[in-house]
Structure 1
Amino acid sequence: MLTIIDKYILKRYLATFSAMLLMFIPIGIVIDVSEKINFMLENKVPFIEIAIYYYHFTIYFANSLFPIFLFLSIIWFTSKLANNTEIIAILSSGISFTRFLRPFIIGATIVSIFVLLMGFFVVPKSSEGFNNFRYTYLKTGGKEAMRGDNTDVFRQISDTEFIYVNSFNPLSKIAFNFSLEKFKKEKLIYKITASRIQWNPKQRTYTMYDYTKRTVGELNDKIEKAPEKVARFSFELEDLTPVVYIAETLTLDKLVKFIDKERSRGSSNINVYLVVLYKKFSVPVSAFILTIIAVSVSSMKRRGGMGINLAIGIALAFAFVFFDKIFGVLAEKSSIPPLLAVWLPNIGFGILAVYLLRNAKR
């Protein structure tokens, strides 16, 4: 049962967080417009496209900087409580510091569930709209820039089949120096090669040029050649080089299926996709950690007033975002397990939260 004090603090918690979002999002939009207005005018982007882009930008921007907004809002209103000696009055009435934290934890739970559901269902759609606009109108190279590395692509397409292409053009859907190898119990059964292979989307077939198929026999190999051959395979050439931000645009169930599919194909970007998946769960949990740190730092009345608390809060908030980004990149580019890298900032700041909370209780 919530008491009057619980409702008072919870209301301030949610109201200040909402106000912080409403205050900084327009600033972010203004800065973004000032940076991109020349590109929009040069490319003659329709107004409706710009309006839709900034709708997606608002959600994308708020989700990306959510830890900073939450942290600063708690620092702000908790410091005001401390400066007005409201916290001293609450604790003097016999309420323990742990009990004082309860409405903050409830607020963090509400925010964390909201962020979790947004990350599962709403943010992926906004991420797709946000990135599609950027790569269509603002990036040099257009759709080409959306692709990952499209040279020397090697994939396992089934338990027994492997394909390789030297390069792939996603616009013409043509791959060069194609080869397909089929194995059985680690023994090569046959190998197909072609100087180039083209995907025919209407017929859902492939046209191979300078086609050669070598079937391995016990005594002699069988070789089949043709200047041109049409065939069906269980893969699409476009799948060889998925859009670089594809994982961000998928809802949770689709993302899990996509990762399983890419893992079976031996994708070199699998760590990138795993980081996106794990962050959907780690970011909401950070709401609790940041809440405890913010309350512990700002609950004491300091000689410098709110300015000191805000300075400490800004430094800690940006440190959290910095380490979150750094470990995310390390997970994508190094041998650090993605699960560990994504959760390391929460673990490190969780330990800091426990330390600060123990000091605040004293």
Structure 2
Amino acid sequence: MIRTLSDAQRRDWLRLARTENVGPVAFDQLIRRYGEPSLALAALPDLARRGGRAAPIRIPSEAQAEAELAAGAALGARLICACEPDFPQALAALDPPPPLIWTRGKAELLSRPAVAIVGARVASAAGQRFARGLAAELGQTGLVVVSGMARGIDGAAHEGALPTGTAAVLGGGVDDVYPPEHGELYGRLCRDGCVVSESEPGRTAIARDFPRRNRIISGLAQAVVVVEAELRSGSLITARLAAEQGREVLAVPGSPLDPRAKGCNDLIRQGAALCEGVDDVLRALEGLRGFREPDRAYAAEPPAELDDAVRARVAALLSPTPVSRNELVRAAAAPAPAVFAALVELALAGRAELLPGGMVAAA
């Protein structure tokens, strides 16, 4: 049941999302188990201790959560939690969804069908022209264009779609203007488009923030178009995430002599749809259904029976190589709820890493 949170529930939701070692997977499991964020917060110290943690787990205080809410309000930004009616349905359909997002600008754009356009920061003039034109044409069909406000292809895509609707997803807070030369573009996005972030206002993005940012870029869209990308690039990470999320992936072909075309050509070789213009994108979107209405009931489930032997067996089965949680259930020869409960405890203790897509690894 989608619901509106009280001020106290919103504060506790934020505190749980910002707690050490609580990523989207652990957050989702905790809310499903305890129902209310306040109950999950109360259980955290004991769960972490049972997982093998010696030092107390770091949980933001009520004052720290109130300070983040106040910082967002001072910017005119809006916090939307995953259980709330205005949370974008595309993100809510992810497994698991991000617990919350901050938005600045026209948040209603996030409820419209969208296509992401991503690519190289050091982009060619031709690549930027293509991205700008494609974004403008997609916008004229009623689609919102999503990108990451980076140099090159991202910036060109936003420029093309500003008159019709575009959203920029940032790695830092919704006030983290990077690169600095995009200050004027950022101002226009806040006024005519939408800026989105999982991070707290005031945060400057660091390297580990960008995979989370890329997951939201692809998660907001029905399709991802890669315009230019080298073989090792963040744009290819976004394309991989899109495929894992069941989104369409398209790539613009390029000259084999240009390193910026190698990533796109390789995507096409692997099965991505070829994109030479707006018609290719619209063709890829034909027949796609809307996102399935997600299960956001967050009703408390009975706690799983968990003994030390199950927890120890699960911990021993983990390695740096990610495996699926279902495979871990089979290997542990234990009930799935007990294995999932053990994984949450181990994650809170810093001994397991719960990954999107149902994967898990040793931390």
Q: Where on the TM-score scale, by shorter chain, does this alignment land: which range?
A: under 0.3
Larger Rg: 1
Is the helix fraction higher in 1 or 2?
1
TM-score of the aligned structures, taking structure 1 as reference length:
0.27
